[in-house]
């Protein structure tokens, strides 16, 4: 049914608002269209797009489904609905819709790009690369397509290809923050730190919003001024960057140095002399500030100059008494990387975790006692195999880690804690690695005491667990 002149004007206004990034305005215009004609599937689809941009997935899903019911053959609708399903973590359904869209319209460029993103989340990296290349074949290179292709090449550890593709994107769009940040990750994995650090600052223009504002510290002498350093990302990042605190304290003796970080670190970080600790959400007065993850770039850290000595010690209090002190080797274990969200927002962290039923195979090793170094209830598969001491904060965790002969953990904060303390640690890594563990290093560059066990293929924890179990059985001292 053709739109009336008034309906067309509202529809066009909605599209103008959307093009300008005014998603609320777009929704108001599409509301007017739908008030006149509730069966306007195009207005429903475009309103769904706007809801999705506002992260209102429930309303977006309702509108997409209503539009699809009115026009079930639309490849555009299937492609856009698949994007939402991907965000909800429904990867198989998203894949099915995109394949249907491409069966009817093989030249649908967005469907090829969206299928590539879904394949990447399914850990099917070569298939994802093929999808992105098809989109480029059909409609040419764009900065966004370079970013998609570069990112999946990084996940597949095709780092030379990733760097070349992302640099090619930056030739088209030199100020594109997504491309700059993506390139920084590929360069970090390749160990090319000097090139990576300036690009890593692009995170503030694409994926993060600063918690503190004001003059950034540029590394110049502080001369009695107050510097605020602040935790910006995960707990492990704060533990990793804490290595630089003694250096800053020593080089700026007359400065007041504040560290805003989660209170779970406060007892542990009290060992850093001359560093005043404050909660993450505090608003202290300061003269200049810097997020913690900007420190290595500011200080010119490279693989050759990284400070790798132990920089966290056992807390100065009596540790939690451990059950089963039998004289057998004590192994601290961490099988889960934690959860930050729902749907696809948490997918990468889930991929970093080992299923408890599989991890339990390690904890059945005879002649050893196993202790959970992560808080929370033990999964059923680990009950009876792993003791669970009380953990209140990271000082408690550090006191426990100090009593372990070995720590076996996935890529999470406790890996950084154990490495910072110099404890013998076996880290279980995804095939995709992680920015600060390089593509194929045998030990962690930032933590000499950490041995890296890598998946041979994406998602293959079985091989990792089997190899670690074999080594545990053969090695009684660590």
Q: Is 425 inside any structural domain? A: yes
Structural domain includes residue 164:
yes
- Regarding whether 242 and 279 lie in a shared domain, the answer is yes
Are 334 and 459 contained in the same domain? yes
CATH number for the domain including 150?
1.25.40.10
232 and 290 part of one domain = yes
Cα radius of gyration (the chain): 25
Indicate if 193 and 256 belong to the same structural domain.
no
In the numeric block, which tokens belong to residue 266? 């406060």
Instruction: Verify that 281 and 357 share a domain, yes or no.
Output: no
362 lies in the same domain as 400 = yes
Q: Does residue 14 lie within any of the structural domains?
A: no
Q: Are residues 200 and 230 in the same domain?
A: no
pLDDT computed for residue 152 by the predictor:
98
- Would you say residue 278 lies in a domain? yes
Q: Block means of pLDDT (10 residues each) for the chain, length 478 residues?
A: 69 94 95 93 94 92 94 94 92 96 97 98 97 98 98 98 98 98 98 98 96 95 97 95 97 97 97 97 96 98 94 80 74 87 72 96 95 94 96 95 96 97 98 96 97 98 97 84
Domain CATH code at residue 358: 3.40.50.2000
Within this chain, do residues 293 and 369 fall inside the same structural domain, yes or no?
no
Residue 178 included in any domain: yes
Q: Indicate if 205 and 230 belong to the same structural domain.
A: no
Q: Which residue range forms the structural domain that includes residue 176?
A: 141-209
Residues 171 and 275 in one domain: no
Taking a C-beta distance cutoff of 8 angstroms, is the pair 110, 79 a contact?
Answer: yes
- pTM, entire model: 0.93
Chain centroid offset of residue 158 CA: 19
Of 153, 181, 209, which one is at a domain's C-terminal end?
A: 209
Whether residues 336 and 460 fall in one domain:
yes
Picking from 154, 183, 209, the residue at the C-terminal end of a domain is 209
Residue finishing a domain among 209, 243, 269: 209
335 & 449 share domain = yes
Q: Give the pLDDT of residue 342.
A: 62
Q: What is the number of domains present in the chain?
A: 3
Domain assignment present for residue 38? The answer is no
- What are the two backbone dihedrals, phi and then psi, of residue 451, each rounded to the nearest 5 degrees? -90, 140
Please check whether residue 240 lies inside any domain of the structure. Answer: yes
Mind spelling out the 3-state secondary structure of the chain? CCCCHHHHHHHHHHHHHHHCCCHHHHHHHHHHHHHHCCCCHHHHHHHHHHHHHCCCHHHHHHHHHHHHHHCCCCHHHHHHHHHHHHHCCCHHHHHHHHHHHHHHCCCCHHHHHHHHHHHHHCCCHHHHHHHHHHHHHHHCCCHHHHHHHHHHHHHCCCHHHHHHHHHHHHHHCCCCHHHHHHHHHHHHHCCCHHHHHHHHHHHHHCCCCCCCCCCECCCCCCCCCEEEEECCCCHHHHHHHHHHHHHHHHHCCCCEEEEECCHHHHHHHCCCCCEEEECCCCCCCCCEEEEHHHHHHHCCCCCCCCCCCCCCCCCCCCCCCCCCCCCCCEEEEECCCCCCCCHHHHHHHHHHCCCHHHHHHHHCCCCCEEEECCCCCCCHHHCCCCECCCCCCHHHHHHHHCCCCEEEEECCHHHHHHHHCCCCEEEEECCCCCHHHCCCCCEECCEEEEEEEECCCCCCHHHHHHHHHHHHHHCCCC
Is the residue at 390 inside a domain? yes
pLDDT of 478 reads 75
Q: How far is CA 256 from CA 195, 221, 320, in A?
A: 31, 12, 34
Q: Dihedrals φ, ψ of 90, to 5°?
A: -90, 70
């Amino acid at each position: 049914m053709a739109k009336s002149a008034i309906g067309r004007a509202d529809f066009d206004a909605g599209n103008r608002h959307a093009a300008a990034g005014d998603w609320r305005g777009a929704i108001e215009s599409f509301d007017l269209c739908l008030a006149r004609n509730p069966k306007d599937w195009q207005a429903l689809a475009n309103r769904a797009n706007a809801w999705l941009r506002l992260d209102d997935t429930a309303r977006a899903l309702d509108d997409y489904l209503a539009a699809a019911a009115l026009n079930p053959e639309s490849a555009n609708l299937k492609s856009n609905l698949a994007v939402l399903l991907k965000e909800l973590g429904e990867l198989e359904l998203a894949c099915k819709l995109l394949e249907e869209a491409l069966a009817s319209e093989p030249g649908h460029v967005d469907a090829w790009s969206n299928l590539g993103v879904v394949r990447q989340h399914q850990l099917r990296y070569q298939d994802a690369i093929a999808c992105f290349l098809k989109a480029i074949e059909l409609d040419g290179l764009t900065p966004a397509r370079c970013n998609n292709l570069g990112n999946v090449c990084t996940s597949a550890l095709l780092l030379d290809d990733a760097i070349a593709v992302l640099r090619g994107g930056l030739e088209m769009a030199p100020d594109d923050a997504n491309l700059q940040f993506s390139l920084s990750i590929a360069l970090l994995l390749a160990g090319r730190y000097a090139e990576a650090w300036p690009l890593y600052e692009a995170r503030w223009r694409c994926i993060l919003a600063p918690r503190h504002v004001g003059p950034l510290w540029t590394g110049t002498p502080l001369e009695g001024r107050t510097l605020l350093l602040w935790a910006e990302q995960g707990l492990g990042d704060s533990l990793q960057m804490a290595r630089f605190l003694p250096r800053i304290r020593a080089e700026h003796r007359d400065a007041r140095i504040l560290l805003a970080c989660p209170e779970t670190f406060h007892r542990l970080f009290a060992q850093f002399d001359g560093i005043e600790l404050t909660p993450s959400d505090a608003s202290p007065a300061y003269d200049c500030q810097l997020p913690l993850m900007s420190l290595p770039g500011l200080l010119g850290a490279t693989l050759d100059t990284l400070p790798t000595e132990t920089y966290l010690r056992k807390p100065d209090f009596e540790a939690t008494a451990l059950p089963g002190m039998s004289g057998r080797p004590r192994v601290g274990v961490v099988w889960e990387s934690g959860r930050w969200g729902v749907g696809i927002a948490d997918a990468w962290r889930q991929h970093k975790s080992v299923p408890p039923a599989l991890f339990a195979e390690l904890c059945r090793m005879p002649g050893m006692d196993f202790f959970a170094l992560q808080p929370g209830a033990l999964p059923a598969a680990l009950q009876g195999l792993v003791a669970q001491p009380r953990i209140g904060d990271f000082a408690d965790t550090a006191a426990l880690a100090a009593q372990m002969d070995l720590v076996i953990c996935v890529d999470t904060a406790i890996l950084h804690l154990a490495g910072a303390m110099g404890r013998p640690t076996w880290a279980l890594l995804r095939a995709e690695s992680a920015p600060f563990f390089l593509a194929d290093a045998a030990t962690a560059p930032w933590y000499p005491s950490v041995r890296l066990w890598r998946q041979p293929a994406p998602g293959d924890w079985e091989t990792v667990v089997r190899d670690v179990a074999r080594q545990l059985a053969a090695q009684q001292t660590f």
